[in-house]
Amino acid sequence: MNSLLTKGGSMDLTKVNKQAVDQLVSLFVWLAELLLLVRVVLRFFNGNPDATFVHWVYTNTQVLLEPLRNVFTSVDVVNRGWVVDYVALAAMAFWAVVGYLMVGLVSRWVRK
């Protein structure tokens, strides 16, 4: 990591390993998508928020939903007893696009 720093202390992005950054971004997106998918399934089947695992999933996915929290006026839509969490579905698309854009930006800045 020290070899990436310039004398002024800033990071030299031309020395960043593109493959490592791609893998880190892909890992984050994969984990975020997985957690959000579990949240969507639990909400759809009315998972009990008092259960430890369900509470853990809901708590840890809140931060992933924050950028889109105000996009939809209603957090969930109930149709015949099923709960559809549109914010979580939109967050899944949002984080996939953000990851794709980050990989694209890194590939522009990093030497091949």
Q: Calculate what percentage of the chain has a pLDDT beyond 70.
A: 74
Per-residue model confidence (pLDDT) at position 112: 55
Per DSSP, what are the bridge partners of residue 82? Answer: 79
pTM: 0.76
Per-residue model confidence (pLDDT) at position 21: 79
The stretch 65-85 carries a mean pLDDT of 73
Per-residue model confidence (pLDDT) at position 77: 59
